[in-house]
Amino acid sequence: MLITRIISIRELKKLFIETFLNRTDKVTKVSDQSVMNGVAYGVAKIGQKTMKEISLIESHLFPDNAFNQHLDLVAQRLGISPRFAASSSCGYVRIVADPGTTYEEGTNILFGQGLNFELTQDIIVGSIGYAYIKVRSESTGSKTNVPALTITSVNPAPSGHIAVLNEYEFTGGRSIESDQSFRIRIKNGANVASKGTLEYLTQIMLKFNSDILRVYSLGTNSQNQHVIAVSTQNGISFTQDELDQLLENITPYLSIGLYNAVSTASVNVELVNVEYSFFDIDFRVELIQNANIDEARRNVQIALTKYLDHRFWKSGERVEWDDMLQIVKDDLQIKYVADSFFFPRIDLIVDPGKLPKVRGFIMRDLSGQIIQDTGGVISPIYYPTESDESFQTTVIK
C-alpha cells in the first residue's frame, strides 16, 4: 500500500476553496464556471499530478509498492541481480509396466502437449506393476507447467511398457521471474551482509544458479561436515557434478571455519539435494450436474499446489489432512466429498529440512470408480477399484 494517498480532483478543489475563503473576505462564494472555480481546478490538477509523481518515487524506493519495470528499478538501485530467466518444470508420472521393466535416464523420453520430458534417474518397475518417478521438462518456460493427464507416451517404449500418466500437474516452469518472487528476493537481498546464516548462503548461491529457492541446515555428517540441503524453485534435483560445482563457486564466500584458504577448498561443508516427503491423494466425490471434470480436477490441484507452496513452507510444519479435504470441498463443481474415503486421513508430519510434494492424485465417484477425464486418457484398468490405504502407507510410502 502506498504511503501517499491519491486524492480526487473534486476533493482537492474543496480543500483549495475552503483555504481560500478562510483567508479573505473579498469573496464569499465560488460558483461553477466562475474564474475562481477555474483557478481551483488548475491548482487541484497540478496537486494531483504532484501526488502521482511522489507515489511513483515511492514505488522506486519500496519493493512492496513496486511492480513490473518499477520493481526492476528497485533491484537495480539496491544492487540485486535482475529478474531470473526461464526455467523448466518437473513432477511425478505413474508408469505401469511388467515387473522388471527398465526405464533409463537419457534414453526413454516422455511426451505430452508437444513437449519432451526426461527421467531424472533410472528405474526398474517392481513386482507391484507400477511406479512413480520424477521427470523434468527438456525445454523451459511457463508452457512446461502442463496440467494433469497430458503426459501419456514414452519413446522408445521399453519391452514390457504398458502406460504412463501424470496424475498431478507439473509446476516450477517459468518464463521470467514473477513480481511476487522477485519482490521477496529483493527484500531478502540485505541478508548477503548477514554472514554465517542460511539466508546469506541462499543469496550467495543465487549468484551462481537462479533456480535456487532456499537452503536448510541438516546438522553434521559422519565426517563432521556441515550438511546443507538445497531446494530449487521448480523442484528439480541437482546432479552430483552440479552440487560439486556449486560448492566450488560458493567456497570463497564461506566463513573462516568452513574454508581452507591455503588449498582454496571447502573442508567442512557438504551440499545435498533437499528431500521431499511425497504423498498420494485419493478421494471420492459427487460432482454437480453437467460439471466439467477436467476443470474440476485442475482447479483442485492448483489450490493444493498453492497450499503446499515451498516458498512459504516453514520447517517443521505438518500437512493438515482436513485442510486438503476443505480445499476439495471448496471447489464449485464438487457437490459432496465423502470424508470417510478421503486419503490421507491423518496429518502428514514433514521432517525438518524436508518439503511436502504431491505424487499421486486419484479422483473417484461415490461408488469407488475412477472418474475418467473427458479425453479418456485415464484407464481404470490400471488402478485398483478400492484404494489400499494400508499398502500405500507402509510399502509404497
Average pLDDT, the chain: 84
Residues 6+ apart with CB under 8 A from 345: 321, 389
Q: What is the pLDDT of residues 292-343, one digit of tens each?
A: 998 999 999 999 999 998 888 888 889 999 999 999 999 999 999 999 999 9
Helix, strand, or coil here: 299? Answer: helix
Collapsing DSSP to helix, strand or coil, 133 comes out as strand
* All cell numbers assigned to 197: 546464516
**Calpha distance 78→61 (Å, rounded):** 9
Residue 200 carries which side chain, given as an amino acid letter? Y
The three-class DSSP label of residue 203 is: helix
Judged by DSSP in three states, 93 sits in strand
d(CA 332, CA 288): 8
pLDDT over 90, % of the chain: 38
0.75 surpassed by pTM = no
Tell me what the mean pLDDT of segment 202-208 comes to: 86
Q: 218-249, pLDDT tens digit by residue?
A: 888 888 888 999 999 888 889 899 999 998 88
CA pair distance 301, 195, nearest whole angstrom: 39
Report CA Rg, the chain: 28
Containing 266, the helix (H) or strand (E) segment is strand 265-266
The cell for 171 is 509446476
Whether the bond between 384 and the residue before it is cis, its omega within 30 degrees of 0, is no
* pLDDT 10s digits, 256-296: 666 665 655 666 889 999 999 989 999 999 999 989 998 99
**Please, how many CA atoms are within 13 Å of residue 266, restricted to the half-sphere of its CB?**
22
State which CATH number among 2.30.230, 3.30.300, 1.10.3470, 1.20.140 fits the domain covering 190-273: 3.30.300
Q: Flag whether pLDDT at 376 surpasses 90.
A: no
For the chain, the domains span 9-61, 90-165, 190-273, 276-396
